[in-house]
Structure 1
């Protein structure tokens, strides 16, 4: 069974070039597949080797409501992408002129242009007229079309990052605004609670005010009654002081007359004896008048002083009431109601009344002190006069006993009458002063009485005003309580967010949908994703190379008695062995040179061997049946399969004709099964592909057997072919 295949292979041992040909057949697929996969293994990870320019013309902008804080988004974007590899490309910040020149010359593969109003547009999202911030990315397809597509992806990533950051900052400010609203509402709620507490205290105070003003009104009534009594007493004092003044004037006149008489007595001492009877009559009359004057003086002294003391006490009590308790209450009212005109007017009236009472008290006190001061001298003077009058009367009575003593007694009488006259003058002056003070006291008490009437009217108005104020304070208590309750309920509805919560919510709102891409049976690199296609291409090329060097069938055996199946097998086995060698060398290169890995290594190798077996069977059939034309057909099949195998893009994206023929081409199933095994996918799909490839292999081998049978007969066309390749 293997003698003919071994015979076909043994001829390659004869020469060095044939041995080298065997090596070339084994390594060509590895070179082809390795080079293509190496060049496309992971291009997206090396975008940082592509130079790109960034032109930043942004001038910055002031953030709204930030106390002068500015945003330089252009500078921030440049700082973010210019570190090598951070922004997709190797970005270099340049001027617009240099960037345009570099793009046209191919130095830069892309230009990112940041406009002047970039920051202004970003901060406008927090203002009244929001605008979109624009970025422009320019590429030149004349240098590389794919770079333009990749640059679009890079721009989308930059744009998405900026949108997320901008939206996150804006939403963060919104959530921060909720905190401010909550804080201000909390202050308002606290203020409303304090207002309620204050209104309760105010209501209590107005209640006390009503009680106090009522008591004040009663006290003012009592004061008015007392001032009426005081005014009556002042009237009596005025009348009594008038009588005292008249009596003192009479006394003064009498003492003057007595003084003049005593002078004449002294001068006419010699005539005493002759006028003794007349002198006794005068002395008796003088004694009677003096006694009467003494009684009146005693009555005046005894009556005036208690009344003056009582008047002083009444004025002092009234002044104490007004200046003490009433003044304190008025001051409290002024403190509680500094803007109330009635309270201010009441305070002014009370102040005027206090000043009037102070003046009246002073005058009453002065009158009392003056009366008290004069009480002793007047009494002493009157007593002294009376004693002298009595002595004079006694002496007149004794005139008959000693005329010699008349001159001395007359002198004594004259001296005493001089003192009496001086004392009587002082008494008259004091009585006049007392009368004047009593008149002023009467005027003061009249004014005080009038002031008390006004005070009574004011206190009555104060009672009415405080009552209305108490009612208003009650309404304020109810209103402030409703306000405080409403603000507390509203405060519960206003959320607050700490920094972590704001950051989380801002990120969620900025990117509400987290579109995360996941891959089932993911491969490690872009090259591994293309490996199924390029391995299939490499093995197809390997099959073509194999049957360029090997004979599709041992043609000499056609003239022998060997069966056609054996002849076909003899041509297929060497190719199959080279196919296995191609698979081994190819995967060794991929594994150690490109760090290739497969999800199911054993099945991947076995399936790759099946692919090589199928491709070699097809190439054997083409060459055996058509010779050089068969190789051309194999090349055409390669081109058709590249277009319809779905090696790079799914075959569903290709035109309809390729979708129709794809299931009938071996490379489609080779790519499909090999891709599944490399990624570690569904083994059932790989099994289906293996079955199809096995059937195609058997069909190709069967067709080759038929070709061998027909090759045993040589035709004229075969002897003289029209085309030889």
Structure 2
């Protein structure tokens, strides 16, 4: 059974090139699958290697009702995305010109433009005319179409983040507004309560007003009676004021005469006061000079004796010095220079000086004694004179004070009489005015008697009005009470939120639905998701390469007596062995080079071997039946299967023709089974795919047996083929 397959394989041992071909056949699928998966393993994890520009022209805006607080949303967005890797790309802040040039040259894959009114439009959501803030993300499909699609996703994420932040801030302000409404409603409730208290006081006051107006009405009645009495009294006042006017006129004449006499008295008293004032000044001056003389005398008495005593002492010291030391020195000079006439004259002069000093000392001693005897008499005489001068000065002062008082009294008397005369005149005038007023009062009381009647009617109406006001005040009490109770009840229904609560609620309202994407049987990397497709492609290409190197069937065996089944088997077994080698090398490369992992390793390997076996049976059939044209058909099948296998996008997204043919192609079931096993999905799906692949393998092997049977007869077409590849 294995002799023919072994014979086919043994021919590859003959040369190094054939042995190398065996290695190439086993390695090419691994190279193909490894390269494609490595280039697509995790492309979205490396978007931060793509440079993108951000142009920030935002000028900022002041937030409404924020005491001058401003928003610079453009700067905040730039700060958020410019750190490397943030926001999907490697963002770099540039000018508009640099961004345009970089996008055109392919330096930047995307340009995010922030308009100048970006912040202004954001803060407008809290104003009367809200506007949507706009961002623009520019890409150039001439450089890369896929990056444009990814940039759209990045822009969506940035927009969602900004919308969430802006909505949260707006909702936070709404919750702050609830706090303000609660605060204002609380003030309104307090005001309503105060209004209710005031209305109660008003109601009490209107009750008192009713009582007061009632009393007023009674008082007006009493006033009406009193006005009558006043009218009678006014008549008597007219008569009495006439008598008062006559007496006041007489008094005014008498005070005028007294005023004139007091003027003469005041002039004479003023002259006497002037004389005594001058006398007092002279006495004060004399007293001052006497005191100055006394001080000088005291100084003379106190200073003369000490000075004379010092003079006596000084003369005594001088005499002692001359008579003592100087005499001894003179005597020494006489002994030293007995013949010197100058020394003799000096000795004589010193004797004369000593005699003079003795005389001066004696005179100073006598003067000191005389001064001591004169001290007491001089002091006593000066003190006696001073006492007499001071006594005289005091009496002159008393005289002047009396004269001044008399002068002042005379002036006061004159002033008083002047005022009395003026008052008497005013009294006379006032008495006349009083008489005239009394007459007017008499006329007024007559009119008041008429007016008080009208007042009595008005007070009665006031009583009725105060009663109506009291009734209205009672209704105000009831209404203000209901208002206060209603506001208190409404206040309980208005919520308040602290900062933490506002932040939490704002986040919830900004994103009310938090959708989490949960993947069942998730794979670790994007490349692992594509592995089923690329492994299938690699194994299909491996089958094509295998039957480019080895024969689909041993053609020489066709001329032998071997059965067609054995011949077909002999061509398939070497391809199957190469397929198993290809599977082994491919998964070794994926595991150690790309850190590939599978949910069910053993079943993945076995299923991959089944895929290789199925693909090799198809390639064997194509090559055995059609030769070189069969290889071309295998290539066409590859292109059709790439479009209909659903390796990247679900086959349901492909045109209808591909959806129709997809179930009949082996790569469709290979991709489905491998995808399930790699992700660790439902094993039933993998089993279904395995059954389909097994059936396709058996069908292809059976067809190859038929082809081998027909190949035993050589036709003219085989001898001269129309097309040879």
Check whether TM > 0.5: yes
Distance in 2 between residues matched to 1:562 and 1:699, nearest whole Å: 21
Tell me which residue corresponds to 2:347.
none
Tell me which residue corresponds to 2:389.
none
Deviations along 1:166-218, one digit per CA (max 9) or x if unpaired, are: 22322332232222222211210121112212322333344456556767887
After superposition, the Cα gap between the structure-2 partners of 1:13 and 1:220, relative to the gap in structure 1 and judged at 3 Å, is: same
Q: Is residue 665 from structure 1 mapped to residue 685 from structure 2 by the alignment?
A: no
Indicate the SS of the match to 1:636.
helix
Aligned residues: 530
Indicate the SS of the match to 2:112.
strand
Tell me which residue corresponds to 1:622.
622
Tell me which residue corresponds to 2:25.
25
Tell me which residue corresponds to 2:72.
72
Distance in 1 between residues matched to 2:82 and 2:495, nearest whole Å: 41
Unaligned runs of 5+ residues in structure 1 are: 240-448
Structure 1 residue 107, shift from structure 2 partner: 0.3
Please show how residues 501-650 of structure 1 align to structure 2 within 5 Å.
Answer: 501-650=501-650
Distance in 2 between residues matched to 1:472 and 1:172, nearest whole Å: 46
Tell me which residue corresponds to 1:397.
none
Deviations along 1:275-327, one digit per CA (max 9) or x if unpaired, are: xxxxxxxxxxxxxxxxxxxxxxxxxxxxxxxxxxxxxxxxxxxxxxxxxxxxx
Deviations along 1:573-618, one digit per CA (max 9) or x if unpaired, are: 1211121121122122222222222222222221111100001111
Tell me which residue corresponds to 2:251.
none
Tell me which residue corresponds to 1:417.
none
Deviations along 1:336-371, one digit per CA (max 9) or x if unpaired, are: xxxxxxxxxxxxxxxxxxxxxxxxxxxxxxxxxxxx
Q: Is residue 49 from structure 1 mapped to residue 49 from structure 2 by the alignment?
A: yes
Distance in 2 between residues matched to 1:653 and 1:589, nearest whole Å: 32
Indicate the SS of the match to 1:130.
coil
Tell me which residue corresponds to 1:438.
none
Tell me which residue corresponds to 2:134.
134
Tell me which residue corresponds to 2:478.
478
Distance in 1 between residues matched to 2:588 and 2:218, nearest whole Å: 121
Structure 1 residue 483, shift from structure 2 partner: 1.6
Distance in 1 between residues matched to 2:112 and 2:546, nearest whole Å: 52
Please show how residues 195-594 of structure 1 align to structure 2 within 5 Å.
Answer: 195-208=195-208, 210-211=210-211, 467=467, 470-594=470-594
Indicate the SS of the match to 1:113.
strand
Structure 1 residue 685, shift from structure 2 partner: 2.2
Structure 1 residue 655, shift from structure 2 partner: 2.5
Structure 1 residue 82, shift from structure 2 partner: 1.2
Deviations along 1:489-519, one digit per CA (max 9) or x if unpaired, are: 4334444444444444434443444454333
Structure 1 residue 560, shift from structure 2 partner: 2.9
Tell me which residue corresponds to 1:692.
692
After superposition, the Cα gap between the structure-2 partners of 1:502 and 1:556, relative to the gap in structure 1 and judged at 3 Å, is: same
Distance in 1 between residues matched to 2:225 and 2:233, nearest whole Å: 12
Distance in 2 between residues matched to 1:486 and 1:674, nearest whole Å: 72
TM-score, reference length from structure 2: 0.65
Distance in 2 between residues matched to 1:475 and 1:713, nearest whole Å: 124
Indicate the SS of the match to 2:86.
coil
Distance in 2 between residues matched to 1:705 and 1:92, nearest whole Å: 66
TM-score, reference length from structure 1: 0.65
After superposition, the Cα gap between the structure-2 partners of 1:456 and 1:518, relative to the gap in structure 1 and judged at 3 Å, is: same
Tell me which residue corresponds to 1:83.
83
Distance in 2 between residues matched to 1:187 and 1:530, nearest whole Å: 67
Distance in 1 between residues matched to 2:99 and 2:670, nearest whole Å: 47
Tell me which residue corresponds to 2:4.
4
Distance in 1 between residues matched to 2:626 and 2:488, nearest whole Å: 96
Distance in 1 between residues matched to 2:195 and 2:123, nearest whole Å: 41
After superposition, the Cα gap between the structure-2 partners of 1:655 and 1:464, relative to the gap in structure 1 and judged at 3 Å, is: closer
Distance in 2 between residues matched to 1:124 and 1:233, nearest whole Å: 84
Indicate the SS of the match to 1:566.
helix
Tell me which residue corresponds to 2:293.
none
Indicate the SS of the match to 1:87.
helix
Indicate the SS of the match to 1:588.
helix
